[in-house]
Amino acid sequence: MLFNRTQKNPVRIADKGVVEWKYAACGYCSTGCSIEVGLNAKGRPVASRGVAEADVNRGKLCLKGIFEHELFDSAGRGTHPLMRDNWHEAWQPADWDTALDRLHGEIVRIQQRYGRDSFAIISTGQMLTEEFYTLGKLTRGLIGTNNYDGNTTLCMSSAVSGYKRSFGSDGPPGCYEDFEHTDCLIAWGSNLPEQHPIIYWRMKEAQEKRGFPLIVVDPRVTMLAQNAHIHLPVTPGTDVVLMNAMMHVIFEEGLEDRRYIDANTTGVDALQAEVAGYNPAMAARICGIDEDTIRNVARLYARAGAAMSIWTMGINQSTHGSDGVVGINNLALVTGNIGKPGGTSLSITGQCNAMGTREWSSCSGLPNYRLLEDPGHREEIGAFWGVDPDFFPKQRGLYQTDIYPAIESGQIKGLWLIATNPMSSLPNTARVRKAMENLEFCAVQDCYQDTESAQYAHVYLPAGTWAEKEGVMTNTERRVNLVKPITPPPEQAKPDLWIFNQVARRFDTNGTLSFPEKPAEIFREMTVLSRGRLADISGMSHELIEQCRGVQWPYTQEQAESGEGPPKGGKRIYTEDATFSYPDGRARLIPLPFIDNNEVPDEAYPFWLNTGRLIEHWHGRSKTGKIGNNNKYSPIPFIEINPDAAAEQGISMGEYVRLVSRRSDAVVMAMPTQRVPKNMLFLPFHFHDCANRLTLGLLDPYSRQPAYKQGAVRIELISDQKAAARMSMEMRKF
């Protein structure tokens, strides 16, 4: 039969036999979409859908969210505790008591023999906030090691550090609604359509209505850059030079907001003196953006009624990451663009609950942005928890990226990894592997038992994942949303909260500290601790959060008691006459001299290596690599290479090549595309034993975040393409 073009051929959505929908917030990225998972008559999760009345996503989900129900049954889930004497031996099944006794015993043994800080704990941005809070209480209040950090150091610590330096506290000031008020948007190193698709949709919808200029600063022609009015293909690692040159133009042409500067900031004279040295003609030679474009963009930004910056890893993952964030804040402050609708500097966070760990995990201090360095904060939390304040360290310990060198040098002997996989996510894998082999004891607590890091563990603790548990998460715009248990963890796997409470009991045999078992009870404890703080959640409860599909902080008890209908929470944390968190209430304008300390291409290694994400995958693919509809679109590692560079090297589309850096090598498939300039290769970082074999990962001096996006490589041709294909298939493993 001939196909009739006038006939409608609607897509038929398969009937999955859903009998009940259960509510959660998505467990992948920090956008914070509200999601419902459909259960069939047997109680198995069979479908996912967006929640229409949720303000964040308004019924939509991206490619990851729409298949999230497939997570629960994915391959490699851990179902029983496992133990072994040495990491290279075969696993033996264990019961929970034996495995937890071993973990407790090893922590005590190592701390007694080598000192309190010789045992390190590294967690994640993937758990629920009540779990973070409980782990913080366990670590700070009972175990007492100061070498405790989260894997958020790999993605967000530059944003945290930059906010603290500029405003006196962490906490993204803006919200998604700012897209609907802004007159100019600059996206710095952020590829929204692939990394945060639903935020992109919010931005795009606002832009189509209001037509504000979109300026994208990115060395690569990303999907977002393809949609930009102006694309600035900046030389990697030189964003600060571009920012300084823009401020040079703003001051030179009198475009700054003097009223705002005088009322709300300190340091303008020193900043102005510093940027005076960044004439755009000079800056163009460093940052690769021509003088006219720098001037044009500076004018567009400064003359806009309200101007907004967003950024992600292109800024954070740099040796100048913290300075880059401060530079974005400087631009906002000198033009009066903090605290008004559409005028903000909004860090787009990475993991679903990276914000929850920043607020409540105590990794870098004490709960709710309290500082170990502040005696008053130590007293306050000590009294609240029932811990002698002298037990707390007086300054934060090592960042994750400094913990591994400390393992190498023998300063740290034991490690507890919680929902994180450093063997995949840290730069220079060969060095991480040696460090892991050096440990006297390693415990891995994860929902998957087949992670690369679990290969080096002595104890494996099977944890529940995402909506097998209950608790809250905070998204990029400070919206606290609820995850409810959709299905229980498989077999003997347990929620992370249960595991922390069991470990706490072993350290606190007299029950001196309180470790509630119910997430809602823990949340109530957190609301009390939040009263009067920047991240005030004292007006919230699990019930209210679910009813409102998420509430933004601050939302105070007074607001809740005033009974003004469903709460809107705090869209913005600062107003136009903002009181920032420094004691004098003023933000700091900080001069940023540029020091070029990156590895750069040279004769031996002539290409920039730029790493990043794909829409289909999540981080190390331990989740999405096992979900067919995510994995099938990007199943193997590949590079984007400019067609002219490919032709010069004699490389054809689909050919396997070897990338070589000063660290190691990796085999990838070549995909010629104009998205990258001739001297740059783009390599998605998701694949096992691939990108991070090559990365150098120099650290930012303030945030200790690695520079994943600036390194140098060369290409070698491979004559045996079949063998290369086999190697590439190996990298598909997780």
Q: Which residues bind ligand SF4 (CB under 6 A)?
A: 26, 28-29, 31-33, 57, 61-62, 64-65, 196-198
Choice between 13 and 90, CB closer to ligand SF4: 13
In the complex, least distance from residue 134 CB atom to ligand SF4, rounded to whole angstroms = 24
Which lies closer to ligand SF4 via its Cβ, residue 194 or residue 525? Answer: 194
- Taking the complex as a whole, the smallest distance from the CB of residue 56 to ligand SF4 amounts, in Å, to 8
Q: Identify which of residues 48 and 364 has a Cβ nearer to ligand SF4 in the complex.
A: 48
CB-neighbour burial class of residue 258 (10 A; exposed 0-12, middle 13-18, buried 19+): exposed
Distances (CA, A) of 322 to 51, 155, 425, 470, 578: 36, 12, 20, 34, 22
236 versus 550: smaller Cβ distance to ligand SF4: 550
CB nearer ligand SF4, residue 197 or residue 684: 197
Cβ closest to ligand SF4, residue 68 vs residue 106: 68
Distance of closest approach, residue 246 Cβ to ligand SF4, in angstroms: 30
Nearest to ligand SF4 of 45, 365 (CB atom): 45
- Residue closer to ligand SF4 (CB basis): 64 or 542: 64
Report how far residue 485's alpha carbon sits from residue 311's, in angstroms, rounded to the nearest whole number.
32
Using the minimum distance from each CB to ligand SF4, give the nearer residue, 28 or 607.
28
Strand 607-612, strand 680-684: pairing: parallel
- Nearer to ligand SF4 (CB atom), residue 32 or residue 495: 32
Q: Which residues of 283-307 are buried (b: 16+ CB within 10 A; e: fewer)?
A: bbebbbbebebbbebbebbbebebb
The H or E element that residue 712 is part of is strand 712-717
The DSSP bridge pattern shows strands 441-446 and 459-462 to be: parallel
In the complex, which residue's CB is closest to ligand SF4? 65
For every residue of 122-165, DSSP letters joined together read EE-SSS-HHHHHHHHHHIIIII--S-EEEGGGGTTHHHHHHHHH
**Which residues in 210-311 belong to E strands, given as ranges?**
214-217, 230-232, 265-266, 307-311
CB of 338 to ligand SF4, least distance (A): 26
Closest to ligand SF4 by CB, 310 vs 676, is 310
451 and 421 Cβ atoms separated by less than 8 Å: yes
Distance in Å, CB of 434 to ligand SF4, minimum: 34
CB of 66 to ligand SF4, least distance (A): 7
Asked whether the beta carbons of 62 and 199 are under 8 A apart, the reply is no
Shortest Å distance, C-beta 37 to ligand SF4: 12
**Least CB distance from residue 126 to ligand SF4, whole Å?**
12
Q: DSSP string covering 321-389, please?
A: HHHHHHHHHHHHHHTT-SSBTTBEEEE--SBTTHHHHHHHS-SSSBTTTB-TT-HHHHHHHHHHHT--G
Shortest Cβ distance from residue 669 to ligand SF4 (Å)?
26
Taking the least distance from each CB to ligand SF4, the nearer of 616 and 700 is 616
Residue 688, CA distances (Å) to 72, 460, 731 in order: 22, 20, 5
* Least Cβ distance, residue 127 to ligand SF4 (angstroms): 16
DSSP 554: P
Cis status of the peptide bond prior to 554, with omega within 30 of 0:
yes
> What does DSSP say about strands 119-123 and 414-418: parallel, antiparallel, or unpaired?
parallel
Nearer to ligand SF4 by Cβ, of 231 and 358: the residue is 358
The least CB distance from residue 629 to ligand SF4, in Å, is 13
Q: Which amino acid is at 682?
A: F
The answer to whether 729 touches 636, Cβ cutoff 8 Å, is yes
User: Shortest Cβ distance from residue 626 to ligand SF4 (Å)?
Assistant: 16
Helices then strands, counting H and E runs in the chain, come out as 26, 26
Closest separation in Å from C-beta 52 to ligand SF4: 14
Dist. CA 147–CA 144, nearest whole Å: 9
The conformation of residue 47, written as its DSSP 8-state character, comes to E
Distance of alpha carbon 371 from alpha carbon 164, whole angstroms? 12
> Could you say which DSSP state residue 104 is in?
H
* Bridge partner residues of 482 (DSSP): 472
